[in-house]
Amino acid sequence: MSKRDYYDVLGLSKGASKDEIRKAYRKLSKKYHPDLNKEPGAEEKFKEVTEAFEVLSDDTKKANYDQFGHADPNQGFGGFGGGGDGFGFEDIFSTFFGGGGSRRRDPNAPRKGDDLQYSMTIDFMEAVFGKEMEIEIPKEETCETCDGSGAKKGTSPTTCTHCGGSGQISITQNTPLGQMVNRRTCPHCQGTGKIIPEKCTTCHGKGRVTKNKKIKVTIPEGVDDGQQLRISGQGEAGHNGGPAGDLYIVFRVRPHEKFIREEDDIYLELGLTFPQAALGDEIEVPTVHGNVNLKIPAGTQTGTRFRLRGKGVKNVHGRGIGDQHVVVKVMTPKKMTEKQKELMREFAAIGGDSPDEYSSSLFDKIKRTIKGD
C-alpha cells in the first residue's frame, strides 16, 4: 500500500508555510494522541501525522520530498539501487564505458556509525520547566574482546582473495550491444574486503556487540511536543575506527488536565459564577508558575480574555517567555432555591437591559472577528 502524500496527511497544500505546518501538526497530534484518543486506528494516524511533520518541518528533508516525493533520492531512479546485486549508477558507467568510469569506495575506510532515534514521553510540566532523566537504550558498540576486528584474540583478518580487498567482484557478459560489466558485492567477504579465519567468540566475527547503555538526558526548559534533541556521539559505534553516530530524542508531551499550550503561550478556561461576572471579583487563578490574583471587572462576559504577561513557557531557544491567557466562561446555575429564583425574577423585572442588546453586542463581536478587527 503506497504512502499518503505528507501534505494531504496534514491537510495542507504544497506551498504551506512553516507556521501552517506546525499549527496543523499541533492540531492533529492532539486529536489522535494515544493518551487522548482510544478509537481504533488513532495511534496509526498519530504516527502518520508525526512522520509527515518530521519531514516537512525540516528544510532539507522537505526540499527532497518536494522534489522526489516518497522516493529516496539516495536509492536512484526507476529501481536502480546502489547496493546488493542490483544495478547502481556505477554499474551504468561500467556497462556503457567498459568500467573505469566510476570511483570505488574503500570498504575498510573509517565510517561514521548510524544515528539512533528515541521517542521520550514526558509530562506537561516536565516540558515547561525541563528535567534531568536517565534513559536506557540498546545500541551497538565496538567489541572490547577483539577491538572491533571480529577476529579471535591473537589472530587477524586476511585480505579477501576473491575481490582483492575491494569488496566487489566484476562479472563480464557478452551481449549484442557489446561487453557488459556488472559489479556486485563480493559474496565471500560480504563487501568488507576481509576474511576472518577464526572469529571472535564474543561478537562472532561482527566486531560489534549490542548492549543496553544508560544515558543522562537534560530535557531543555520549554521543549514542545514533536521537537527533538540531538546528543552527539551517542548513536551506533563507527565502522573501522570511524566516529559514533548521534542520538536524536523526539519528545512526546502528555496533555495537561487544565492548561493548553500554543507555542510559548498557555491557555486556561476559567469558570465564573453569574454574581462574580456581573458584580466583579478578585479571584485566585492557577498558572504553571503558581497561583496569582486576577481582578474581574463588573459586567464581564463569556469569552472575555485576560492576559497574564510572563506567565507562559520559556522559549526553548532563549527568545523570551510566553504569556498565559485566561478565557472566561460564565456558568449558568442549573439548580436554584426558591429564594434564588425569586431574586432572579425580581432582577429580570427591574433590569434595564433587553435580550436585543445582548444579541446586537454578540453579532457585532462576530462581525469584528470575521473582518479581523
Least confident of 77-86, 327-336, 343-352: 77-86
Looking at residue 323, its amino acid is D
Q: What's the predicted TM-score (pTM) here?
A: 0.55
All 3 cell numbers of residue 29?
497530534
d(CA 307, CA 298) in angstroms, rounded, equals: 17
Q: What percent of the chain has pLDDT over 70?
A: 82
Over residues 97-122, the pLDDT tens digits come to 444 444 556 766 787 888 888 888 89
CB 185 within 8 A of CB 90: no
Half-sphere CA count of 80, side-chain side, radius 13 A: 12
* Beta partners for residue 118, in sequence order: 249
Q: What percent of the chain has pLDDT over 90?
A: 16
* Beta partners for residue 265, in sequence order: 262
- Which residues, 6 or more positions from 59, have their beta carbon under 8 angstroms from its beta carbon? none
Half-sphere CA count of 55, side-chain side, radius 13 A: 21
d(CA 288, CA 303) in angstroms, rounded, equals: 22
- Which residues, 6 or more positions from 20, have their beta carbon under 8 angstroms from its beta carbon? 12
Over residues 34-68, the pLDDT tens digits come to 777 888 888 888 889 888 898 898 888 888 888 77
Strands annotated E in the chain: 116-122, 131-142, 158-159, 168-175, 178-185, 194-195, 208-219, 228-231, 247-253, 260-262, 265-273, 281-285, 292-296, 305-308, 324-331
All 3 cell numbers of residue 70?
516518497
